[in-house]
């Protein structure tokens, strides 16, 4: 696919609030991106020129924010609305290999949708959620830089331009980010994730060692910050790569002012994947 042909939709509903910087990140790299309200996919109250289909796009992003006020559980209402109107399309989209990204609240939506951990390639949305993003162990809203180690061996299409073992700094800003797997199945889930190369980012300290709070801001099992599905095309993470797209967004940017921000590689990776699609 040519660069100019690539179209990215950043989905929004009431309460999402990171769609603008996410759209900007994609546009800065030369692809077409727009924020699309969920109702543009199904409502008959929408003007013709604003009606959309999922298949108008090659990549879908669930952005950060507080969709529907985080009522019920973070991401639960956004997920329920997507399921009620787009379930079949979304499953086909994933099966065909098109990439889906969920950042922060978007990761919570993907977990609630049953799209992650996404062990079953033929059934990309599980009937019931298979993981939860619970309240941070600290019971605080954690809003600050975090260090992540990239652990993916090449399956995740959003991080192929980041070397395995490389450390990056993406900031977090969430109250519900603690990865929880069903009780008693934790070890089994972790084994499957490792075996399938689905672990993408883990929280580390400044030296790159796995460490507890505050380095692991929420108490996630196995220090998990981000995982992908078994196919590698659905990726969710709590930290915000779009908030470190430019080097000047890093606290220590003066050390290397001309280099790109750490988060840019996420967007470059998926664009490269789509160019070869």
Partner 1 sequence: MIADVYIELKEGVVDPEGEATKKALRLLGFRKVKNVSTRKVFRIEIDAKSKEEAEKEIKEMCEKLLANPVIQNYRIVWIE
Name the site residues for partner 1 (rule: CB under 8 A): 72-73, 76-77, 80, 83, 112, 128-132, 134-139, 180-183, 219
Strand partners, 9: 34, 60
Told to judge if 250 belongs to the known catalytic residues of this protein, a careful annotator would answer no
Which H/E stretch holds residue 100? strand 100-103
Residue number with CB closer to partner 1 (138 or 249): 138
CB of 113 to partner 1, least distance (A): 11
Residue number with CB closer to partner 1 (129 or 232): 129
Question: Looking at 19, 151, 176, 242, which residue is catalytic?
Answer: 242
| Nearest residue to 262 via CA among 276, 250, 252 | 250
CB of 180 to partner 1, least distance (A): 6
Residue number with CB closer to partner 1 (25 or 224): 224
Residue number with CB closer to partner 1 (51 or 138): 138
CA distance 105 to 126: 19
CB of 141 to partner 1, least distance (A): 12
Residue number with CB closer to partner 1 (52 or 81): 81
Told to judge if 242 belongs to the known catalytic residues of this protein, a careful annotator would answer yes
Phi/psi of residue 66, each to 5°?
-130, 65
CB of 150 to partner 1, least distance (A): 26
SS (H, E, C) 214-251: CCCCCCCHHHEEEEECCCCCEEEECCCHHHHCCHHHCC
User: Which contacts (CB < 8 Å, 24+ apart) does range 204-207 have?
Assistant: 204/147, 204/148, 204/149, 204/167, 205/147, 206/147
CB of 147 to partner 1, least distance (A): 23
Residue number with CB closer to partner 1 (13 or 80): 80
| Nearest residue to 269 via CA among 241, 247, 243 | 241
Which residues lie closer than 8 Å to 150 by C-beta, 6 or more apart? 159, 162, 163, 164, 165, 166, 167, 168, 200, 201
CB of 185 to partner 1, least distance (A): 9
Question: Looking at 58, 150, 174, 240, which residue is catalytic?
Answer: 240
Structure tokens at 25: 């990140």
Question: Looking at 104, 156, 176, 228, which residue is catalytic?
Answer: 104
Structure tokens at 43: 């409502």
> DSSP for 158-207?
TSTTS-TT-EEEEEEEESEEEEE--TT-HHHHHHHHHHTT-EEEEEE-TT
Q: Give me the active site residues, please.
A: 104, 240, 242
């Amino acid at each position: 696919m040519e660069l100019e042909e690539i179209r990215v939709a950043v989905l929004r509903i009431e309460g999402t609030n990171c769609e603008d910087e996410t759209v900007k990140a994609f546009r800065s790299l030369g692809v077409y991106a727009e924020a699309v309200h969920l109702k543009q996919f199904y409502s008959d109250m929408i003007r013709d020129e604003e009606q959309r289909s999922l298949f108008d796009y090659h990549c879908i992003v669930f952005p950060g924010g507080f969709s529907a006020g985080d009522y019920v559980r973070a991401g639960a209402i956004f997920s329920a609305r997507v399921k009620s109107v787009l379930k079949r399309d979304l499953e086909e989209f994933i099966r065909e290999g098109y990439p889906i990204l969920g950042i922060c609240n978007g990761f919570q939506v993907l977990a609630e949708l049953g799209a992650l951990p996404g062990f079953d390639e033929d059934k990309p949305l599980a009937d019931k959620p298979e993981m939860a993003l619970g309240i941070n162990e600290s019971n605080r809203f954690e809003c600050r830089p975090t260090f992540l180690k990239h652990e993916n061996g090449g399956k995740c299409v959003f991080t192929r331009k980041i070397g395995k073992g490389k450390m990056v700094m993406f900031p977090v800003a969430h109250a519900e980010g603690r990865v929880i797997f069903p009780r008693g199945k934790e070890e089994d889930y972790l084994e499957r994730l490792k075996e399938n190369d689905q672990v993408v980012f883990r929280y580390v300290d400044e030296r790159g060692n796995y460490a507890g709070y505050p380095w692991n801001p929420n108490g996630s099992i196995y220090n998990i910050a981000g995982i992908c599905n078994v196919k590698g095309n659905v990726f969710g993470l709590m930290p915000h790569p779009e908030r470190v797209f430019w080097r000047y967004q890093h606290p220590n940017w003066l050390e290397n002012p001309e280099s790109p921000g750490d988060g840019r590689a996420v967007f470059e990776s998926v664009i490269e994947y789509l160019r070869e699609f």
